[in-house]
Amino acid sequence: AGLEPDVVRVSVHRFCTHIMALHVPVLDRIGSPEWRRAAASRTADLLYAAYDAVYAFLTNHRPPYPPSTLVHTPQEIRTILDI
């Protein structure tokens, strides 16, 4: 058993919406530009890894979730996150 496809679709859509409007104010407070870039990069990597794990789960689930459940491919998320 799994979650209803509509519930999953809405949750994935919200996650993607937040990624597209991503701004992490705490990163602005990091004084060193090098550390700030590293923190931003690591944040993007972790967000991508989370989406990739969810995507893999949903595409490998039996019975499979409908393709409309997934808003973006992992590659599209990488592009959105600029990684």
Contacts of 68 (CB under 8 A, 6+ apart): 5, 9
Phi, psi (deg, nearest 5) at residue 4: -60, 135
Give the tokens for residue 65. 């979730």
- Cβ distance 15 to 81 under 8 Å? no
CB count in 10 Å sphere of residue 31 = 6
pLDDT for the residue 1? 58
Domain that holds residue 23: 5-81
For residue 82, pLDDT over 80 is answered with yes
pLDDT in tens, 32-76: 999 999 999 999 999 999 999 999 999 998 888 888 889 899 999
What is the number of domains present in the chain?
1
pTM of structure: 0.84
